[in-house]
Structure 1
Amino acid sequence: MPLLRGFLVLVLFFILGESVRLLLALPVSGGVLGMVLITFTLMVKGSVSDALATASQGLISVLVLLIMPGVVGVFFTASQFSGQWLAVAAALLLGTLLSVLTTLLLMKWVTARGVSERE
């Protein structure tokens, strides 16, 4: 039962994200908005329920299958990017660099905050 409850929470936040996207006409995926909303909710709450943790762990184990449709879509539309290899390469490099830098700064902030709370 906790697994179903956790999936229900995830689906509800996905639907909430889609609703926000449609109401505000945002050019962002409803899934991304749902993840942002659930992140803020969990930050305010301060903890993750066992049901949500159980459902999330189940999804993490099949993460490759969740990413696969996007990879296949890019594979079949690769001909559209044939003349844009420099822009695609620059976007991939810059995106990777920004992701790593953001993760580094966030991890540094979180560990510093954790050390100061323990003292």
Structure 2
Amino acid sequence: MPLIMGMSVLLACQFAGELLARGLAMPVPGPVLGMVILLVGLIVRGQVPASLRQTGEGLLRYLTLLFVPAGVGLMVHARLIGMDLVPIGVTLVGSTALTLAVTGWVLQRSQRRRSARGEP
């Protein structure tokens, strides 16, 4: 029963995100909005329910299987990807560098705030 409840929460958040994305014609995918809805709900609640934790851990255990379709897509469309290899490579390197820079900046800011409060 806990797995059903956890999966129901995840699917309800994704459904709400899809409704928002389509209803407001937002350029953001519905599942992303659903994750934001879930995050806000968890922040308001202050903790992760046991059923949601159990479901999330179960999904993460098999996360590597979700990379199989992406790998097949790369093999099927290798020639098409090869035609645009330079822009794809520049985009991947640039987005990775930007992500690392923003992550480092956020980490520094959070460490400064914690040290200012006297937290370890």
Q: Structure 1 pair 75/28, CA: closer, same or farther in 2 (3 Å)?
A: farther
Instruction: Go from structure 1 to structure 2 and tell me whether the alpha carbon gap of 1:28 and 1:67 turns closer, same or farther (over 3 Å shift).
Output: farther
Instruction: Give the 5 Å matches for 1:1-119.
Output: 1-113=1-113, 116=117, 118=119
Q: CA deviation at 1:110?
A: 4.3
Deviation for aligned residue 1:48: 1.1
Residue 51 of structure 1 and its aligned partner are, at CA, apart by 1.0
Change (3 A) 1:117 1:71: farther
Q: Which moved more, 1:26-35 or 1:69-78?
A: 69-78
In structure 1, the gaps of 5 or more residues are none
Amino acid at match of 1:53: R
What CA RMSD, in Å, does the superposition of the two structures yield over aligned residues?
A: 2.3
Larger Rg: 2
**CA offset at residue 31 of structure 1?**
1.4
**Residues 3-44 of structure 1 deviation map (CA, whole Å, 9 limit, x = unaligned):** 211111001111111111111222332211211221122222
Identity %: 31
Tell me which stretches of 4 or more aligned residues in structure 1 moved more than 6 Å: none
Tell me the matched-pair count.
119
Runs of 5+ unmatched residues, structure 2: none
Task: Name whichever of 77-86 and 31-40 sits farther off.
Answer: 77-86
SS at match of 1:6: helix
* Structure-1-length-normalised TM-score: 0.81
- The TM-score, its normalising length taken from structure 2, stands at 0.80
